[in-house]
Structure 1
Amino acid sequence: MDGLRQVELLGCAPRGGLLAVLDHIGGRRARAGNAYLSMLDVEGVEMGSYFVNDVTSTAAKASPLGSGLVDVTVQLWCDQTLPGSDWMWELIRTGQLSRKGLWHSLDQPGRRAWLSVALWSSEYQRRGNGADTAPGRVFVLDGQQILDVDSFYCAIGEAVNGPGGYFGWNLDALNDCLRGGRGAVPPFTLEWRHSEVARSRLVEHPAVQGDPATLFELILSIIGDHDVEVVLQ
């Protein structure tokens, strides 16, 4: 069922509603309700969080990670936690998201999951460097990396904000990012290398009746509306 997830909470110290349901696993009272699921780094700092519904405990056992800690398995509902996103969270958590292109080997669902984590972790990844880059910057986008619309957003996110960076994951979000507050504020230059390769792959038509523009043309139009010089190479 779309949105239904099984999550293992390793080495946790249950409190509140979660603690109360551990004695009722398998019964109707095993449901703890709604919650926020926070992703923590190795120092316990929150990297990002999801609002989740219908958290239900399905198993619990003593954890090898420490005395008094418990490994708890829960089912919950959250369509924002996409299958495959755990890999990127682990890269961020352990400081291994240190070079560009780690998403290149992912399939389409994997790239979508990558984008979701890039979005939900964007504030954490930019901590201590929250200001946009100064106007006039040149960003380089490699069209050879672009296989479809999701890979375009993976590529432009990294071009602007570095490894695992976020700069939109749909047209509306791209438009919002171009207003500032997401790493870059116009005016700036986007040097789009191998743009004809990208053009040939971004050929799908949007679901706008009577609009013949391709996705590539729509992207150029949105970027151009924000005082960005796009240099097609």
Structure 2
Amino acid sequence: HNIAGLISAIENATKIYENNGFIYNLDQENNIISSTFISNIKISKSKKNLILTGFAWASPKGYQKAIDMKLNNQMIEKNIWKSFRKDELQGWLVHALHSCKPEIIRENINIQIDGNEFHNLDGFFCALGEEIHGVSGYFGRNIYSLYDCLRGDFGVKYISEFNWLNHKRSKTILKTKFIEIVEIFEDYNINIKVLLN
């Protein structure tokens, strides 16, 4: 173990990033599985010890559960997020954000969401992410991030059509957020078809 090299790397990084940085969780091939942002990093060192202190970003509930599932190769099919409790879904979505790396940019795609497949706003975003990007896919975790995703850099250049099955149930569950979501898609000239199944 090269402690002197580690100390030097941390000191250089904290200078470059103004005492902010990430701690990464790596798999056996040194691929980044997850990260934790730390601000106000301070280094205390002695001959045998290195202590980092700072403020760590706390992952939402459910995040570690999703990480563990990924590390154990349990993310093999869609809808695994349905096994998460309501208060764990933001953790699932943050994991999906950190792990979604679309390899191709797709254009003019048609998507379909079934209102019977989710029970709250977080569930809608879980279903939307998987509809667009497959297993544990990401395409927003709240209204504001949906805007970001539709602007680009999230694997989709343009969605041409959005078919919303059982939309009346979604409207009841999502209330005013349903209207906001529809308006956002309309702002991006996406043809929305609300359908009863």
TM range (shorter): 0.7 to 0.9
Matched, 1:149 2:125: no
Structure 1 portions without partners, runs of 5+: 1-11, 18-32, 57-73, 204-213
Tell me which residue corresponds to 1:26.
Answer: none
Map 1:29-178 to 2 at 5 A: 35-53=21-39, 77-123=55-101, 126=102, 129=103, 131-135=104-108, 137-178=109-150
Distance change in 2, residues 1:155/1:81 (3 Å): same
1:81 counterpart letter in structure 2: S
Kindly indicate whether the alpha-carbon contact (under 8 Å) linking 1:146 and 1:201 is maintained by their aligned counterparts in 2.
no
Structure 2 portions without partners, runs of 5+: 8-18, 43-51
Give the Cα separation in 1 of the matches to 2:90 and 2:84.
9
Distance change in 2, residues 1:55/1:96 (3 Å): farther
Kindly indicate whether the alpha-carbon contact (under 8 Å) linking 1:40 and 1:93 is maintained by their aligned counterparts in 2.
no
Higher helix share: 2
1:51 counterpart letter in structure 2: F
Percent identity reads: 25
Compute the displacement of 1:16 (Å): 3.1
Give the Cα separation in 1 of the matches to 2:171 and 2:153.
28
Give the Cα separation in 2 of the matches to 1:77 and 1:102.
32
Matched, 1:198 2:170: yes
Matched, 1:216 2:178: yes
Distance change in 2, residues 1:98/1:216 (3 Å): same
Tell me which residue corresponds to 1:228.
Answer: 190
Compute the displacement of 1:42 (Å): 3.4
Tell me which residue corresponds to 1:16.
Answer: 6
Kindly indicate whether the alpha-carbon contact (under 8 Å) linking 1:54 and 1:77 is maintained by their aligned counterparts in 2.
yes
Kindly indicate whether the alpha-carbon contact (under 8 Å) linking 2:37 and 2:57 is maintained by their aligned counterparts in 1.
no
CA displacement 1:175-227 (0-9 Å, x = unmatched): 11112221222242111111111111001xxxxxxxxxx11001000011112
TM-score (norm 2): 0.77
Distance change in 2, residues 1:84/1:230 (3 Å): same
Compute the displacement of 1:35 (Å): 4.2
2:154 counterpart letter in structure 1: R
Compute the displacement of 1:34 (Å): 5.7
TM-score (norm 1): 0.66
| Two-structure CA RMSD over aligned residues (Å) | 3.0
Distance change in 2, residues 1:95/1:55 (3 Å): farther
Give the Cα separation in 2 of the matches to 1:118 and 1:45.
16
How many residues align structurally?
179
